[in-house]
Amino acid sequence: MRHDPAGAALIIMLRSLKMPGMAQAVQDLHEQGSPAFEAAMPILSQLLKAEMAEREVRSIAYHMKAARFPAYKDLSAFDFAASEMREACLMKVPAFVRNKSHRQAF
């Protein structure tokens, strides 16, 4: 096999994506040194990077949903009409305290 970092990186990405059949096919094409394959390597690399990023996003979304964190709330979404709390009373609280509560869930 010729030593080419780009080809080796493709094979590593395919194996990390658990695509051993495609990794073997890419390795075979890389060993053959086909000009068509050499021209397609940048596109294939971009596609694999996009797939890795998409899997990462889906994984994070799945774990966030599975964690069942409470919904994020802040004062802009608070319904003062349905509460005994008056908005004017709350707005007298210093701004630095209101901003701190902005980062905490109610």
Residue 72 tokens read as 């994020």
Q: 78 and 50 in one domain?
A: no
Same domain, 63 and 74: no
Which pTM does this prediction carry? 0.60
* Burial of 90 from C-beta contacts in 10 A (0-12 / 13-18 / 19+): middle
Torsion angle (degrees, nearest 10) of CA 44, 48, 51, 53: -130
Q: Which domain holds residue 75?
A: 70-106
- Domain co-membership, 60 together with 12: yes
Both 43 and 74 in one domain: the answer is no
pLDDT digits (tens, 9 = 90+) for 16-74: 999 999 999 999 998 998 888 889 999 999 999 999 999 999 999 999 899 988 877 77
The count of domains in the chain is 2
Residues 41 and 93 in one domain: no
Same structural domain for residues 92 and 60?
no
Domain check: are 75 and 63 in the same one? no
Check: CB of residue 2 under 8 Å from CB of residue 38. no
Top pLDDT among 41 and 99 is at 41
